[in-house]
């Protein structure tokens, strides 16, 4: 069911794919769990499987942080999503919530890949706006896929290549050949994209001018928050 074609890079909306996973696959995995003697290892295996599926349907690589994988989709750990036996469920739910909160806090502290995600609040059960707002058309989902990789810091740029190859490859941008290619350079300063970028930034600027308090765009620009604003535009309202 969740074959190789079911992911964002092929144009399938991750929200639809997640729904299929939650509706068809999870109940099968967890069938009869209330009366079965599941070990910690079994749960861990299920959890890993779900992490893998959540990454796959978003077209994200395996190095994506766990919390980032879940928060992008608005999914939560597998054991928080089912069984129905109330007596069993309540204490487990509490424990899972505590575990999730701990994991979220620790990942946001320690992982540089989380810097562009909205980290002011812990994940709630709704997908990130990148997946939530994307129309269900192949081209739009493919565009959102690039944004999802940029926001989770898994879109491979030259600075990543330099890190992965321990310096064998240069971190210099291959397009303008002047500076280190990181997310900021790629989105904001690379001269090779200037013409294209200016077109979009002027639209964004005039939209903000008409819909937000005076000077919002300038303040964002001055404070070096443009990358965050482009990838995660709701941050400014929070």
Q: Which is nearer to Zn ion, 6 or 173 (CB)?
A: 173
Give the nearest distance from C-beta 141 to Zn ion in angstroms. 27
Contact string 28-67 vs Zn ion (x = CB under 5 A): ----------------------------------------
Q: Which is nearer to Zn ion, 2 or 188 (CB)?
A: 188
What's the Cα-to-Cα distance from 117 to each of 44, 72, 185, 234, rounded to whole Å? 26, 9, 18, 10
Q: Assess 176 for contact with Zn ion (CB under 5 A).
A: yes
What is the secondary structure of 157-186 as a DSSP string? Answer: -HHHHHHHTTTSS--B-TTT-SSB--HHII
Confirm if 227 and 187 have CB atoms less than 8 A apart.
yes
The single residue listed with the structure tokens 């990838």 is 231
For the bound state, the minimum distance from the C-beta of residue 199 to Zn ion, rounded and expressed in Å, comes to 17
Going by C-alpha positions, the residue among 37, 66, 34, 40 that lies closest to residue 53 is 66
Of 30-38, 99-107, 151-159, 185-193, the segment contacting Zn ion by CB under 5 A is 185-193
Query: What is the spatial distance between Cα 79 and Cα 65, in angstroms, rounded to a whole number?
Result: 19
What is the smallest separation between the CB atom of 193 and Zn ion, expressed in angstroms? 8
Contact characters 194-223, Zn ion, x per CB under 5 A: ------------------------------
Rounded to the nearest whole angstrom, what is the least distance from the CB of residue 174 to Zn ion in the complex?
8
The piece of 7-15, 41-49, 50-58, 183-191 that touches Zn ion (CB under 5 A) is 183-191
* Distance in Å, CB of 159 to Zn ion, minimum: 11
Exposure letters 212-221 (e unless 16+ CB within 10 A, then b):
eeeeebeebe
What is the C-alpha to C-alpha distance for residues 76 and 14, in angstroms, rounded to an integer? 14
Residue 173 binds to Zn ion (criterion: CB under 5 A): yes
Sign of CA dihedral 217, 109, 153, 62: negative
Q: How far is the CB of 102 from Zn ion (least distance, A)?
A: 39
CB-nearer residue toward Zn ion: 9 or 184:
184
Give me the long-range contacts of 92-99 (CB less than 8 A, separation at least 24): none
DSSP state of 222: H
- Binding of residue 175 to Zn ion (CB under 5 A): yes
Q: Is 188 in the site for Zn ion (CB under 5 A)?
A: no
CB of 118 to Zn ion, least distance (A): 27
Which residue ranges make up the site for Zn ion (CB under 5 A)?
173, 175-176, 190
């Amino acid at each position: 069911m969740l074959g190789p074609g079911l992911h964002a890079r092929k144009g399938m909306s991750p929200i639809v794919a997640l729904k299929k996973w939650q509706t068809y696959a999870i109940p099968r995995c967890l069938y009869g769990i209330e009366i079965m003697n599941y070990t910690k290892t079994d749960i861990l295996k299920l959890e890993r499987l779900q992490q893998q599926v959540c990454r796959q349907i978003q077209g994200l690589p395996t190095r994506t942080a766990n919390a980032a994988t879940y928060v992008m989709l608005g999914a939560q750990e597998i054991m928080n999503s089912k069984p129905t036996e109330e007596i069993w469920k309540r204490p487990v739910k509490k424990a899972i919530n505590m575990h999730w909160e701990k994991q979220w806090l620790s990942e946001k502290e320690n992982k540089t890949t989380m810097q562009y995600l909205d980290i002011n609040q812990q994940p709630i059960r709704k997908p990130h706006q990148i997946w939530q707002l994307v129309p269900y058309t192949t081209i739009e989902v493919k565009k959102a896929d690039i944004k999802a990789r940029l926001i989770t810091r898994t879109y491979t740029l030259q600075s990543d290549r330099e890190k992965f190859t321990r310096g064998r490859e240069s971190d210099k941008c291959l397009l303008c050949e002047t500076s280190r290619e990181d997310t900021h350079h790629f989105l904001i300063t690379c001269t090779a994209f200037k013409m294209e970028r200016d077109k979009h930034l002027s639209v964004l600027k005039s939209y903000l001018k008409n819909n937000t308090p005076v000077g919002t765009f300038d303040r964002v620009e001055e404070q070096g928050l443009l990358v965050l604003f482009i990838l995660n535009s709701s941050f400014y309202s929070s």
